[in-house]
Amino acid sequence: MIGVDERIGFGKRLGAALLDSAIMMALTMVIGIVAGGFLGGLMGGAGMGPAAGALGAMAGFLVAMTLVGLLYPVIEGVTGWSPGKRVLGLQIGTADGEPAPLKLLLGRSAIKNSTAVAGFVGTVTGIGLFTGLSGLLALVVFVGCFMTLMASRQALHDRIAGTAVFKADALREAAAMEAIEDAMTEAREPVAATVEETPDADIDSAIAVVSEAPAERVPAPRPAAPAPRPRPATTGVPGQTRQCPKCGQSDTELGSIIGWYCRICGWRESRG
């Protein structure tokens, strides 16, 4: 959703309108020349004489004006931008800053170009009421365009249709974010539905199982290494035997001069 401050106001919209006018004039001239030459040739071939060229040119420009006048509203009503808006990177969206659906764009285009619709109906039917209404609608639409100078930055036809003009990039980003939010919502719905459909008893049982689960085992501390055995004092009676602290045999003997010694591995301990 895009805020009101992101809407495009009078300046850039006027620039887009001037660009549209220039493009429409150029298209009308090109199409008019081509169509006028073609129609003039047809009229000349039909034996209309020297006046065929002038009549063909007039008919060609009338066809061009009608074609371009109908083409522009259709382009803006279908795509959400006119060529001038496209050049300036502008796009029509909803008043909330979301991409406008086709139905909304067509309604806005019909309101904005209501003067052309009334004039066309008056020309076809010959009813003067529609011709007069066309002039009144043209004045209303023209004055309503200056409402873009207000804080809402919406023309009269925007307010009626519920639209506004934004930067095209901002609308694309808003559309992408909306798509992401919709995808996340769709992903959460099955989980929420499963929780809602689960009986309370099952939920309570699951909570109880989790709460009664044994706590994470803490490894027991390693036992301390046994203290080294004290070396036996060199006391006793010569010829006495005991277990050798080196080889574990019992042939260790206490001598009268050299102290304890082992006859098997050769270990000995001098007298202290």
Residue 162 near residue 14, CB atoms below 8 Å: no
Summarize pLDDT for 191-227 with one digit per residue, the tens.
666 656 656 656 566 566 555 655 555 566 666 656 5
Residue 151 near residue 3, CB atoms below 8 Å: no
The parts of the chain modelled with pLDDT lower than 50 are: 233-234, 272
Q: For residue 46, give Cα distances in angstroms to 38, 52, 53.
A: 13, 9, 12
Pairwise CA distance, residues 115 & 95, whole Å: 24
CA 198 to chain centre: 34
DSSP designation for 99:
B
Q: What residue ranges do the domains of the chain occupy?
A: 4-177, 236-272
Pairwise CA distance, residues 96 & 59, whole Å: 45
Q: What pLDDT is attached to residue 205? A: 65
Residue 59 near residue 36, CB atoms below 8 Å: yes
Pairwise CA distance, residues 194 & 93, whole Å: 37
Q: What pLDDT is attached to residue 82? A: 94
Pairwise CA distance, residues 234 & 272, whole Å: 6
Residue 19 near residue 89, CB atoms below 8 Å: no
In sequence order, which ranges of 80-167 are alpha helices (DSSP H)?
Answer: 83-87, 102-112, 114-125, 128-145, 156-161
Q: What pLDDT is attached to residue 154? A: 96
Query: How many other CB atoms are found less than 10 A from the CB of residue 55?
Result: 15
Q: What pLDDT is attached to residue 61? A: 87
SS (H, E, C) 175-215: HHHHHHHHHHHHHHHHHHHHHHHCCHHHHHHHHHHHHHCCC
Pairwise CA distance, residues 56 & 39, whole Å: 5
Q: For residue 193, give Cα distances in angstroms to 81, 182, 206, 220.
A: 42, 16, 17, 45
Q: What pLDDT is attached to residue 120? A: 75
The phi, psi pair for 23, rounded to 5°, reads -65, -40
Pairwise CA distance, residues 38 & 32, whole Å: 10
The phi, psi pair for 220, rounded to 5°, reads -70, 145
Pairwise CA distance, residues 260 & 239, whole Å: 9
CA 25 to chain centre: 38
Q: Which residues pair with 241 in a beta bridge?
A: 253
